[in-house]
Amino acid sequence: MEMGIDSFAASKFSGDQYQANQAANSLAELLDRIEYADKVGLDVFGIGEHYRKEFLDSANIAILSAAAARTQKIRLTSAVTVISAADPVRVFQNFATLDLISGGRAEITAGRGSFTDSFPLFGLNLNEYDALFSEKLDLLLKIRENERITWSGKFRPELKDQAIYPRPLQEKLPIWLGVGGTPDSFRRAGLLGLPLMVAVIGGETHRFRPLIDLYRRAGESAGHAPEQLKVGLHSLGYVGESTEEALDKYYPGYAETFTRIGKERGWPPVTRPSFDAQTGSGGALVIGSPTDVAEKILRHSEALGGISRFTFQMDNAGLSHTDLMRAIELIGEQVQPIVNGAIDAG
């Protein structure tokens, strides 16, 4: 199983004042963490895409390109690219360039994102949410397959025998489809034969099994080989020296973040009992000691019929840079060997 980190490039601001110095420091620390993840042997590092003050990832390709110059082996991906709000031509060109810079380590995870801030920012109609995504994903995939392209659609000027450069170093730039809980999204990924990245940030992970089965059935019915239909799992998580320590460090920042987001979405405030329910054996949060986290990842994989990639989202909880660096070390040196040792043992 591949293992890695997803980050939203969170920055800690005090009060309402935007602090450029703090933002610069947060990005410097993030690049240090990506470099360290490469050093300890993690497989992948993803950078999200948001348009909010507390996240510094609106230009995630710039962060990934900076990381490419400081790493050797780790794969570099978006987590996700909000394709609805982007020009697929520019998305492909950006990631093809990243692939050249990194020596063939770039990937795209295309998705719609969990926030809708990009719609008013770029003058998009929220009522065209799915149509925008479907059309732009179609164009992105066609560009990946064809150096020259003729194409027309509703939301972008047509292309007439237009060459798209540069081309990536990899023969076929990997494109995953990032999904939440919409059945149509799982079915679409299967029909297209795209690897699936499932974001599970709450509830019980095993409840996604019917959707993943739907994905696999759709893919097989479309003629895609089972090994092509890979499933990755993105979860909120953190690894500490002990489970008690990890839970106590993670909870305060998690509660603040999700209570604040909950005010926008009508969710109840986070409480410690509700948090503890999420960290139990079937809950979506993957927090604890290296052994406990490894065992939970294996349980989730079994419950979902097998996953090929697992990524931690850790910077939502206001943890210190030192805490995050140590967690990365524990994931690379302890969690990953336990997980893959158990898989190898059958």
Handedness of CA 242, 256, 309, 331 (dihedral sign): negative
For residue range 35-82, list pLDDT tens digits in order: 999 999 999 999 999 999 889 999 999 999 999 999 999 999 999 999
CA end-to-end distance (rounded Å), the chain: 13
pLDDT at position 98 = 98
Encoded amino acid at 264, one letter:
E
Identify the three-state secondary structure at position 187: helix
Mean pLDDT computed over 215-221: 98
Residue 16 has pLDDT above 80, yes or no: no
Q: Quote the CA–CA distance of 238 and 296 in Å, as a whole number.
A: 12
pLDDT at position 1 = 98
Q: Quote the CA–CA distance of 269 and 267 in Å, as a whole number.
A: 7
* Residues 48 and 57 sit within 8 Å (Cβ to Cβ): yes
Residue 177: how many other CB atoms lie within 10 Å: 23
For 2-344, CATH gives 3.20.20.30
For residue range 164-184, list pLDDT tens digits in order: 999 999 999 999 999 998 999
Cβ partners under 8 Å of residue 341, min gap 6: none
The region of weakest confidence among 3-12, 112-121, 245-254 is 112-121
Q: What does the DSSP 8-state code read for residue 168?
A: P
Encoded amino acid at 212, one letter:
I
Question: Facing residues of 235 across strands?
Answer: 200, 312
Residue 187 has pLDDT above 70, yes or no: yes
Would you state the torsion angle of the CA atoms of residues 98, 118, 196, 250, taken in this order, to the nearest 10 degrees?
90
Mean pLDDT computed over 193-216: 96
For residue range 131-159, list pLDDT tens digits in order: 999 999 999 999 999 999 999 999 999 99
pLDDT at position 15 = 65
Q: Give the helix ranges, DSSP H, for 167-208.
A: 183-192
Q: Using CB atoms within 10 Å of the CB of residue 280, give its burial: 0 to 12 exposed, 13 to 18 middle, 19+ buried.
A: exposed
Mean pLDDT computed over 243-259: 95
For residue range 83-117, list pLDDT tens digits in order: 999 999 999 999 999 999 999 999 999 999 878 99
Q: How far is CA 20 from CA 26, 60, 210, 292, in A?
A: 10, 17, 45, 38
The model's confidence at residue 122, banded by pLDDT at 50, 70 and 90, is: very high
Tokens read off for 1: 């199983």
Residue 247 has pLDDT above 80, yes or no: yes
Query: Which helix (H) or strand (E) element contains residue 237?
Result: strand 231-239
Tokens read off for 119: 């719609």
Task: Tell me the DSSP string of 162-200.
Answer: EE--PPPSSSS--EEEEE-S-HHHHHHHHHHT--EEEEE
Would you state the torsion angle of the CA atoms of residues 140, 142, 146, 148, taken in this order, to the nearest 10 degrees?
-80
The model's confidence at residue 17, banded by pLDDT at 50, 70 and 90, is: confident
Q: What does the DSSP 8-state code read for residue 266?
A: T
Q: Quote the CA–CA distance of 33 and 310 in Å, as a whole number.
A: 18
Residue 18 has pLDDT above 90, yes or no: no
Give the mean pLDDT of the chain: 95
pLDDT at position 14 = 65
Percent with pLDDT over 70 in the chain = 99
Q: Quote the CA–CA distance of 88 and 81 in Å, as a whole number.
A: 10
* Residues 242 and 248 sit within 8 Å (Cβ to Cβ): no
For residue range 319-341, list pLDDT tens digits in order: 999 999 999 999 999 999 999 99
Tokens read off for 252: 């305060």
